[in-house]
Structure 1
């Protein structure tokens, strides 16, 4: 990068990155946990897990939405000197930063099945579903405003795109980068056209 240049990462990609690593291990932990009778029994465990799934998904989806909207509303147009980080790099960086937490969460979900079958796994899956839903919500905002939201990579060292260290978002056109609104991978033909 040249003098004065800096890297930008997609906000929706940062939000979406850990969703799959929470959802699939959560589903796996819930499936294995359902095979264990546990202290409460399978029926109570599954009912408790379903409630935890819904609560976790709703909380993750709602938390900091006002902050996201404030940053999006005040976003400035990205300059020509910026470097747009590839989706794969953003996902890899985010997952690498969280890998040990995700592993511990999976092991805790498995262990909790001996007390409340499947509940821990469904809680984990609910967190993933909430992040995925929030990324889709950001995608709807991006489509409605015909702009993609980006954040400086040096402002999100812990992967919190709406944390205290983030003071501003930047925007680009809807076809910039290799991720669609909402952070999904852009089809190869479209990505090639965008570049």
Structure 2
């Protein structure tokens, strides 16, 4: 990188990154859990799992939204020396940093099925849905303001898009980057 240049990652992509992995590992964990009778029985396990799904979805959506809104409201224009990180690179960096946590979460969800069948997997899937909804909420903000929100990569790698190291967001025009508002892949 040149003098004064720094890399930026899309906020919505960082928020959306774990959603797919949690969803597609939570559903098989729940399906495996349904096959196990468990200590409490399938009916109680699936009912508890459905409740955990709703709670996790709401929690994933609501937690720290105020901090996102505050950082978005105070966002400043990005300079010309910034390097915009591709969506695929952001996803790959997140996946590499969290792959062991995802594996442990999947194994814990399957193991919890011996107590409450399917509950752990549904908890993971609910968390994914909440994060996806939060990314959609950020996408609505980006469309309303005709701007995309970015965060410095070195700040986001330590604590996520709203970690304590994040001092503020930067904005670019809506045509910058390779991801749609909300962090989704741009359809051709």
TM range (shorter): over 0.9
- 1:147-168 CA-to-partner distances (Å, cap 9, x unmatched) read 0000000111235101110001
Residue 138 of structure 1 is matched in structure 2 by 138
Provide the rounded CA distance (Å) in 2 between the counterparts of 1:142 and 1:148: 5
Q: How many residues align?
A: 188
Aligned 8 A contact 2:139 2:181 in 1: yes
**Rounded Cα–Cα distance in structure 1 between residues aligned with 2:164 and 2:21:** 25
Residues 39-97 of structure 1: CA deviation (Å, up to 9, x unaligned): 11100000000000000111111011010011000000011100000000000001111
Paired with 2:3 and 2:15, the residues of 1 have a C-alpha distance of 29
Q: Secondary structure at the match of 1:176?
A: coil
Q: Which residue of 2 aligns with 1:69?
A: 69
Do 1:6 and 1:81's aligned partners in 2 also have CA atoms closer than 8 Å? yes
For the Cα contact (< 8 Å) 1:14–1:159, is it kept in 2?
no
1:31-110 equivalence runs, <5 A: 31-110=31-110
Residue correspondence of structure 1 range 144-183 to structure 2 within 5 A:
144-183=144-183
Query: Is the 2:158–2:165 Cα contact (8 Å) retained in structure 1?
Result: no
Contact 2:87–2:179 (Cα < 8 Å) also in 1: yes
C-alpha separation in 1, matches of 2:67 and 2:164: 10
Aligned to 1:192: none
Aligned residue in 2 for 1:191? none
Instruction: Please provide the CA RMSD for this pair.
Output: 0.8
Cα deviation digits, residues 156-188 of structure 1 (max 9, x gap)? 123510111000100001111000000001124
> Any conservation in 1 of the 2:159–2:165 contact (CA below 8 Å)?
no
Equivalent-residue separation in structure 2 for 1:157 and 1:121 (angstroms):
26
Q: Distance in 2 between matches of 1:165 and 1:57?
A: 26
**Whole-Å Cα distance in 1 between the matches of residues 96 and 42 of structure 2?**
34
Structure 1, unmatched stretches of 5+, are 189-195
**Is 2:121 aligned against 1:121?**
yes
> Secondary structure in 1 aligned to 2:171?
strand
